Structure 1
Amino acid sequence: MTTNYSIDCNTGSMGNKYYIMVDKDNRDIRRELRKGMEEENKDWIISSSATGIRKGHSYVIAVSEQAVNDEKFLSILNKYDTQVKKFVWCYIRFEKPDGFRYWIPEEDAVKMKNELENNESIITVSIDYINDQ
Protein backbone atom coordinates (compact mmCIF):
# COMPACT_ATOMS: atom_id res chain seq x y z
CA MET A 1 0.00 0.00 0.00
CA THR A 2 1.30 3.44 -0.93
CA THR A 3 0.76 6.48 1.28
CA ASN A 4 0.87 9.90 -0.33
CA TYR A 5 2.13 12.88 1.63
CA SER A 6 1.92 16.56 1.00
CA ILE A 7 4.86 18.65 2.14
CA ASP A 8 4.40 22.06 3.71
CA CYS A 9 7.70 23.92 3.77
CA ASN A 10 8.00 27.25 5.57
CA THR A 11 11.25 29.15 5.06
CA GLY A 12 10.02 32.69 5.71
CA SER A 13 10.49 32.91 9.45
CA MET A 14 14.16 32.04 9.71
CA GLY A 15 15.93 34.93 7.97
CA ASN A 16 19.14 34.77 5.99
CA LYS A 17 21.81 32.30 7.02
CA TYR A 18 25.26 31.91 5.55
CA TYR A 19 27.80 29.14 5.21
CA ILE A 20 31.10 28.23 3.64
CA MET A 21 32.26 24.84 2.41
CA VAL A 22 35.82 23.90 3.31
CA ASP A 23 37.68 20.86 2.02
CA LYS A 24 38.01 18.38 4.88
CA ASP A 25 41.78 18.24 4.40
CA ASN A 26 42.30 22.03 4.34
CA ARG A 27 43.19 22.80 7.94
CA ASP A 28 44.90 26.07 6.96
CA ILE A 29 41.70 28.02 6.30
CA ARG A 30 40.08 26.78 9.51
CA ARG A 31 43.20 27.67 11.49
CA GLU A 32 43.36 31.13 9.91
CA LEU A 33 39.66 31.77 10.57
CA ARG A 34 40.05 30.82 14.25
CA LYS A 35 43.12 33.04 14.55
CA GLY A 36 41.30 35.94 12.87
CA MET A 37 38.33 35.59 15.21
CA GLU A 38 40.64 35.70 18.23
CA GLU A 39 42.57 38.72 16.94
CA GLU A 40 39.44 40.64 15.95
CA ASN A 41 37.43 39.40 18.97
CA LYS A 42 34.55 38.51 16.64
CA ASP A 43 32.28 35.51 16.23
CA TRP A 44 32.47 34.66 12.55
CA ILE A 45 31.58 30.98 12.94
CA ILE A 46 28.19 30.04 14.35
CA SER A 47 27.97 27.03 16.63
CA SER A 48 24.87 25.20 15.47
CA SER A 49 23.67 21.91 14.13
CA ALA A 50 24.93 23.03 10.72
CA THR A 51 28.47 23.76 11.92
CA GLY A 52 30.94 21.13 10.89
CA ILE A 53 28.55 18.92 8.98
CA ARG A 54 30.42 16.69 6.56
CA LYS A 55 29.11 16.87 3.00
CA GLY A 56 31.13 14.73 0.61
CA HIS A 57 34.77 15.80 0.90
CA SER A 58 33.93 19.10 2.61
CA TYR A 59 32.73 20.54 5.88
CA VAL A 60 29.80 22.94 5.91
CA ILE A 61 30.50 25.77 8.35
CA ALA A 62 27.75 28.23 9.30
CA VAL A 63 28.98 31.82 9.48
CA SER A 64 27.44 34.94 10.97
CA GLU A 65 26.04 37.92 9.10
CA GLN A 66 28.74 39.93 10.85
CA ALA A 67 31.32 37.74 9.10
CA VAL A 68 29.93 38.23 5.59
CA ASN A 69 30.36 41.99 6.05
CA ASP A 70 33.84 41.80 7.59
CA GLU A 71 36.78 42.71 5.33
CA LYS A 72 39.30 40.53 7.16
CA PHE A 73 37.00 37.50 7.06
CA LEU A 74 36.36 38.00 3.34
CA SER A 75 40.08 38.41 2.62
CA ILE A 76 40.79 35.06 4.30
CA LEU A 77 38.11 33.40 2.17
CA ASN A 78 39.47 35.08 -0.95
CA LYS A 79 42.96 33.78 -0.17
CA TYR A 80 41.59 30.21 -0.18
CA ASP A 81 39.17 30.77 -3.09
CA THR A 82 36.18 30.11 -0.83
CA GLN A 83 32.80 31.79 -1.18
CA VAL A 84 30.03 32.56 1.26
CA LYS A 85 26.72 31.01 0.27
CA LYS A 86 23.20 31.51 1.60
CA PHE A 87 20.97 28.82 3.01
CA VAL A 88 17.60 28.65 4.68
CA TRP A 89 16.30 26.44 7.44
CA CYS A 90 13.31 24.64 6.06
CA TYR A 91 10.80 23.00 8.37
CA ILE A 92 8.89 20.26 6.57
CA ARG A 93 5.61 18.97 7.92
CA PHE A 94 4.15 15.76 6.55
CA GLU A 95 0.40 15.44 6.21
CA LYS A 96 -1.56 12.39 5.17
CA PRO A 97 -4.45 12.92 2.74
CA ASP A 98 -6.95 12.45 5.58
CA GLY A 99 -5.49 15.52 7.30
CA PHE A 100 -3.64 13.61 10.02
CA ARG A 101 -0.45 15.55 10.66
CA TYR A 102 3.00 14.88 12.03
CA TRP A 103 3.12 11.20 11.27
CA ILE A 104 5.40 9.29 8.97
CA PRO A 105 6.53 5.65 9.09
CA GLU A 106 10.20 5.32 9.94
CA GLU A 107 10.96 3.45 6.70
CA ASP A 108 9.49 6.30 4.61
CA ALA A 109 11.26 8.93 6.70
CA VAL A 110 14.68 7.32 6.25
CA LYS A 111 14.11 6.90 2.51
CA MET A 112 13.11 10.57 2.08
CA LYS A 113 15.98 11.77 4.27
CA ASN A 114 18.51 9.82 2.19
CA GLU A 115 17.04 11.05 -1.10
CA LEU A 116 17.01 14.68 0.06
CA GLU A 117 20.56 14.57 1.42
CA ASN A 118 21.83 13.27 -1.95
CA ASN A 119 20.92 16.68 -3.37
CA GLU A 120 24.03 18.87 -3.13
CA SER A 121 22.01 21.97 -2.23
CA ILE A 122 20.54 20.28 0.85
CA ILE A 123 22.90 20.26 3.80
CA THR A 124 21.12 18.09 6.34
CA VAL A 125 17.68 16.64 7.05
CA SER A 126 16.13 15.83 10.42
CA ILE A 127 12.88 13.94 10.73
CA ASP A 128 10.50 14.18 13.70
CA TYR A 129 7.29 12.41 14.54
CA ILE A 130 8.24 8.98 13.24
CA ASN A 131 5.72 6.20 13.70
CA ASP A 132 7.77 3.13 14.61
CA GLN A 133 4.93 0.65 14.14
Structure 2
Amino acid sequence: MNKISKVVVVFIALLTFLALMIQSQEVKIAGLFIQFENETSEAEVKAILENYDIPVNYTIDYNSNIGRGMYYIEVDEDKIYELRKDENWTSVVEIKKGNYNIIMLSEEFVPDENVLAMLEKNNLQLKKAVVCYIHFGVGPADWVVGKNCILEKDA
Protein backbone atom coordinates (compact mmCIF):
# COMPACT_ATOMS: atom_id res chain seq x y z
CA MET A 1 0.00 0.00 0.00
CA ASN A 2 1.31 3.40 -0.82
CA LYS A 3 1.46 6.33 1.59
CA ILE A 4 -1.81 7.96 0.40
CA SER A 5 -3.77 4.70 0.80
CA LYS A 6 -2.54 4.36 4.39
CA VAL A 7 -3.63 7.93 5.18
CA VAL A 8 -7.08 7.27 3.67
CA VAL A 9 -7.49 4.05 5.70
CA VAL A 10 -6.46 5.81 8.94
CA PHE A 11 -8.82 8.71 8.17
CA ILE A 12 -11.77 6.34 7.54
CA ALA A 13 -11.00 4.42 10.73
CA LEU A 14 -10.90 7.68 12.70
CA LEU A 15 -14.24 8.82 11.25
CA THR A 16 -15.80 5.45 12.07
CA PHE A 17 -14.53 5.65 15.64
CA LEU A 18 -15.92 9.19 16.07
CA ALA A 19 -19.29 8.18 14.62
CA LEU A 20 -19.53 5.27 17.06
CA MET A 21 -18.64 7.50 20.02
CA ILE A 22 -21.26 10.10 19.09
CA GLN A 23 -23.90 7.41 18.57
CA SER A 24 -23.24 5.82 21.97
CA GLN A 25 -23.85 9.14 23.78
CA GLU A 26 -27.37 9.72 22.48
CA VAL A 27 -30.36 9.10 24.74
CA LYS A 28 -31.61 5.51 24.41
CA ILE A 29 -34.74 5.82 26.57
CA ALA A 30 -37.37 8.52 26.75
CA GLY A 31 -37.90 8.55 30.48
CA LEU A 32 -38.38 6.78 33.76
CA PHE A 33 -41.08 6.59 36.42
CA ILE A 34 -39.92 6.83 40.03
CA GLN A 35 -42.30 6.33 42.94
CA PHE A 36 -41.66 8.07 46.26
CA GLU A 37 -43.39 7.90 49.63
CA ASN A 38 -46.22 10.35 50.15
CA GLU A 39 -45.22 13.76 51.48
CA THR A 40 -41.96 13.70 49.46
CA SER A 41 -41.60 17.26 48.18
CA GLU A 42 -40.45 18.32 44.74
CA ALA A 43 -37.29 19.81 46.29
CA GLU A 44 -36.50 16.44 47.92
CA VAL A 45 -36.99 14.64 44.60
CA LYS A 46 -34.59 17.08 42.89
CA ALA A 47 -32.04 16.63 45.69
CA ILE A 48 -32.24 12.84 45.42
CA LEU A 49 -31.73 12.90 41.65
CA GLU A 50 -28.81 15.33 41.94
CA ASN A 51 -26.95 12.70 43.99
CA TYR A 52 -26.89 10.39 40.95
CA ASP A 53 -24.58 10.85 38.00
CA ILE A 54 -27.15 11.25 35.22
CA PRO A 55 -25.11 12.08 32.12
CA VAL A 56 -27.98 13.61 30.10
CA ASN A 57 -30.30 16.56 30.57
CA TYR A 58 -33.61 15.70 32.21
CA THR A 59 -36.82 17.30 33.39
CA ILE A 60 -39.02 16.18 36.27
CA ASP A 61 -42.79 15.85 36.00
CA TYR A 62 -43.50 15.94 39.74
CA ASN A 63 -46.54 13.99 40.96
CA SER A 64 -47.27 12.74 37.46
CA ASN A 65 -50.66 11.15 36.92
CA ILE A 66 -49.69 9.18 33.81
CA GLY A 67 -48.12 6.23 35.62
CA ARG A 68 -49.45 3.21 37.45
CA GLY A 69 -48.97 2.60 41.12
CA MET A 70 -50.51 5.64 42.74
CA TYR A 71 -50.95 3.67 45.97
CA TYR A 72 -48.86 0.99 47.60
CA ILE A 73 -48.76 -1.39 50.54
CA GLU A 74 -45.81 -2.92 52.34
CA VAL A 75 -46.14 -6.62 53.12
CA ASP A 76 -43.79 -8.77 55.19
CA GLU A 77 -42.09 -11.50 53.20
CA ASP A 78 -43.72 -14.32 55.20
CA LYS A 79 -47.19 -12.77 54.81
CA ILE A 80 -47.06 -12.27 51.03
CA TYR A 81 -47.74 -15.93 50.19
CA GLU A 82 -50.96 -16.13 52.20
CA LEU A 83 -52.03 -12.76 50.80
CA ARG A 84 -51.68 -14.06 47.22
CA LYS A 85 -54.16 -16.85 48.05
CA ASP A 86 -56.91 -14.32 48.80
CA GLU A 87 -59.57 -14.23 46.07
CA ASN A 88 -59.52 -10.42 46.04
CA TRP A 89 -55.78 -10.23 45.41
CA THR A 90 -55.10 -7.67 42.65
CA SER A 91 -51.33 -7.18 42.63
CA VAL A 92 -49.83 -5.93 39.40
CA VAL A 93 -46.32 -4.93 40.47
CA GLU A 94 -44.38 -6.34 43.41
CA ILE A 95 -40.93 -5.13 44.38
CA LYS A 96 -38.88 -7.02 46.94
CA LYS A 97 -37.01 -4.77 49.36
CA GLY A 98 -35.21 -6.34 52.29
CA ASN A 99 -37.58 -8.61 54.21
CA TYR A 100 -40.77 -7.10 52.78
CA ASN A 101 -42.45 -6.52 49.43
CA ILE A 102 -43.80 -3.25 48.09
CA ILE A 103 -47.00 -3.83 46.15
CA MET A 104 -48.23 -1.06 43.88
CA LEU A 105 -51.92 -0.58 43.22
CA SER A 106 -53.48 1.72 40.66
CA GLU A 107 -56.28 4.09 41.62
CA GLU A 108 -58.92 1.83 40.08
CA PHE A 109 -58.49 -0.77 42.86
CA VAL A 110 -58.57 1.63 45.81
CA PRO A 111 -62.33 2.31 46.01
CA ASP A 112 -63.05 -1.44 45.63
CA GLU A 113 -64.69 -2.59 48.89
CA ASN A 114 -63.29 -6.12 48.48
CA VAL A 115 -59.73 -4.82 48.27
CA LEU A 116 -60.22 -2.54 51.28
CA ALA A 117 -61.72 -5.45 53.26
CA MET A 118 -58.75 -7.66 52.32
CA LEU A 119 -56.33 -4.97 53.51
CA GLU A 120 -58.18 -4.59 56.80
CA LYS A 121 -58.38 -8.37 57.31
CA ASN A 122 -54.60 -8.66 56.84
CA ASN A 123 -53.85 -5.55 58.92
CA LEU A 124 -52.22 -3.74 55.98
CA GLN A 125 -52.08 0.02 55.53
CA LEU A 126 -52.74 1.57 52.12
CA LYS A 127 -50.27 4.39 51.43
CA LYS A 128 -50.44 7.08 48.75
CA ALA A 129 -47.38 7.51 46.56
CA VAL A 130 -45.85 10.43 44.71
CA VAL A 131 -45.08 9.29 41.15
CA CYS A 132 -42.58 11.36 39.18
CA TYR A 133 -41.77 10.99 35.50
CA ILE A 134 -38.17 11.79 34.62
CA HIS A 135 -37.92 12.81 30.94
CA PHE A 136 -34.43 12.36 29.48
CA GLY A 137 -33.07 14.55 26.71
CA VAL A 138 -33.84 18.01 25.44
CA GLY A 139 -36.84 17.28 23.21
CA PRO A 140 -40.45 17.92 24.17
CA ALA A 141 -41.77 15.49 26.77
CA ASP A 142 -44.99 14.93 24.80
CA TRP A 143 -43.28 13.21 21.87
CA VAL A 144 -41.93 9.69 21.53
CA VAL A 145 -39.10 9.46 19.01
CA GLY A 146 -38.75 6.22 17.09
CA LYS A 147 -36.11 5.01 14.68
CA ASN A 148 -38.07 5.97 11.57
CA CYS A 149 -40.94 8.01 12.99
CA ILE A 150 -42.15 10.54 15.51
CA LEU A 151 -45.40 9.67 17.26
CA GLU A 152 -47.45 11.99 19.42
CA LYS A 153 -47.98 10.62 22.92
CA ASP A 154 -51.61 9.66 23.64
CA ALA A 155 -52.48 9.97 19.93
**TM-score normalised per structure 2:** 0.42
**TM-score normalised per structure 1:** 0.48
